[in-house]
Amino acid sequence: MKIEFAEFLISALIAAESLLVSAFGSLYSVYGAYMTTGAAPICAVLRWLCLLLTLVVVVSALLAVYATYQVQLASPRIPRLVLVGLYLIVLLIPVPAGVITWRMYKDAAP
């Protein structure tokens, strides 16, 4: 994998993760509004959509980790601190969506 392509892929995946987390936040706010007004039947669909978005964010994070690893292998001259920062950014983006989704399913009535 060429270095320039891998760097572009990493930045595109980070941007995609950020946009997906933003969409997740919008869906979660709609879910929260419906839950406070009496738990409409659409809440189950919104929970599934939030779960789907969370899974997509996690998959894109894993792809970004793989691309970062490939850059690390292809170019050992990149400072270790830069790579650690990239790994942290990529892995911390899906954490809020994952925690919120886990709490949504934990608090949902069976």
Residue scoring higher pLDDT (78 or 96): 96
Burial of 12: CB neighbours in 10 Å, binned 0-12, 13-18, 19+: middle
**What integer pLDDT is reported at residue 43 of this predicted model?**
82
Q: Among positive and negative, which fits the CA dihedral 58, 47, 104, 29?
A: positive
Name the H helices within the chain: 3-36, 42-74, 80-92, 95-107
**What integer pLDDT is reported at residue 64 of this predicted model?**
87
| The pLDDT of residue 109 is above 80 | no
Q: Mean pLDDT throughout 73-88? A: 83
| The pLDDT of residue 47 is above 80 | yes
- pTM of this prediction? 0.83
Cα 90 to Cα 29: distance, rounded to the nearest angstrom:
24
CA distances in angstroms from 79 to 20, 64, 72, 85, 90, listed in the order given: 29, 18, 9, 10, 17
Residue 104 sits at the vertex; the CA angle it makes with 103 and 105, to the nearest 5 degrees, is 90
